Structure 1
């Protein structure tokens, strides 16, 4: 039981979700948690600011240790509970190197997704132009093709760093789930679709699946033509 841990989170937030997947993989159930509403601005409450002065989620605390960056929290959980649950960082150098490489490639991947899905929210009205949106869509298309190629090279049924589920999958899968939620064509990206289908059935993913996604499986189809 992880009763000395607290997670404050949004439903459907990839950064929050990856911490929840890591907690499940390390068999750290029973942690204290609180689901907040982004639209109501609850992430700016004093309760959150006491843990994360940036007013962002996730806000994660283990005892007196605070880790509010989701990558940092996932790495911390793996290191502190290395012998518990799923080993998320391989011992062998080639697999370990690929795990770290794919993990950190997830940072620009999510940025490119957000630049398209939340274009109107991220960019002031005066900076919005058809040519600008076109560039962001082209950048996301190129990124998706890169990940499609990674999976094709590894072969059917593979995870992002090879035959084993790793921390790369923990942090990047929420990004891939996000693009399919927003209408990405499975026909255009069959390897990504296969990977998405594989991980959807993993217990840690099913248990932590965003509650609002269960209620509304399909969001806007902003990525259907990508």
Structure 2
């Protein structure tokens, strides 16, 4: 019997990234919807993720948290889907996935919170300046169809989800390279399924 795959999420969270990846994998999974500040902080969920945040997955007895880690884990655990990097793609795959998890996430969050790093302190911040992050992100999605080249991988799920969210909420600059890149990857059936599932889950939670 295949190990059960359980997905812990809230539809208004970064869990939407993990949902997209789960739909790309195409394996059956059970969804546990959690509420902010309530069930996310309950003792039983804290045993899954002591941070009390979503998303998380449980695959049999294995727990994985952090969106980038979930994407990488699923890609490698189900290699038949072709979402893990080939040897020649590994450098760009890991470079841009970790860039999105580190500098991009940090820079966008600080900007959204209204915090601007003083120029003389930029070297202390791993993310550097917001403009530098946007320029680097533009380089990542320019020059090839996908971030690793001409093949869609889990890195596109992770990087692409950040770009899609940022374009939608105005937290990243609306550069043409970002619009074009997200326009390509958002046509994927798995992305559309994931969005529909999360939108429906959101309605269910609001009605409860």
**Into which bin does the TM-score normalised by the smaller protein fall?**
0.7 to 0.9
Please show how residues 79-118 of structure 1 align to structure 2 within 5 Å: 79-83=76-80, 85=81, 87-93=82-88, 95-107=89-101, 108-117=103-112
1:43 is displaced (CA, Å) by 1.3
Q: Does 1:63 align with 2:60?
A: yes
Instruction: Compute the TM-score of the two structures, normalised by the length of structure 1.
Output: 0.74
Runs of 4+ in 1 over 3 A off after TM superposition: 128-132
Distance 1:81 1:130 in 2: 41
Q: Does 1:151 align with 2:141?
A: yes
State which of 115, 119, 129 in structure 2 corresponds to 1:139: 129
Distance 1:198 1:42, change over 3 A: same
Distance 1:31 1:2 in 2: 11
1:130 is displaced (CA, Å) by 9.9
8 Å Cα contact 2:96/2:155 also seen in 1: yes
Distance 2:108 2:118 in 1: 17
Structure 2: gaps spanning 5 or more residues = 204-208
Distance 1:46 1:2, change over 3 A: farther
Residue number in structure 1 paired with 2:26 = 27
Please show how residues 9-24 of structure 1 align to structure 2 within 5 Å: 9-14=9-14, 16-24=15-23
CA RMSD, Structure 1 to Structure 2 (Å)? 3.0
Residue number in structure 2 paired with 1:43 = 40
Deviations 1:121-142 (A, max 9, x none): xxxxxxx68969xx89x92232
Q: How many residues align?
A: 194
8 Å Cα contact 1:88/1:166 also seen in 2: yes
Distance 1:49 1:191, change over 3 A: same
Distance 2:104 2:2 in 1: 31
Instruction: Compute the TM-score of the two structures, normalised by the length of structure 2.
Output: 0.79
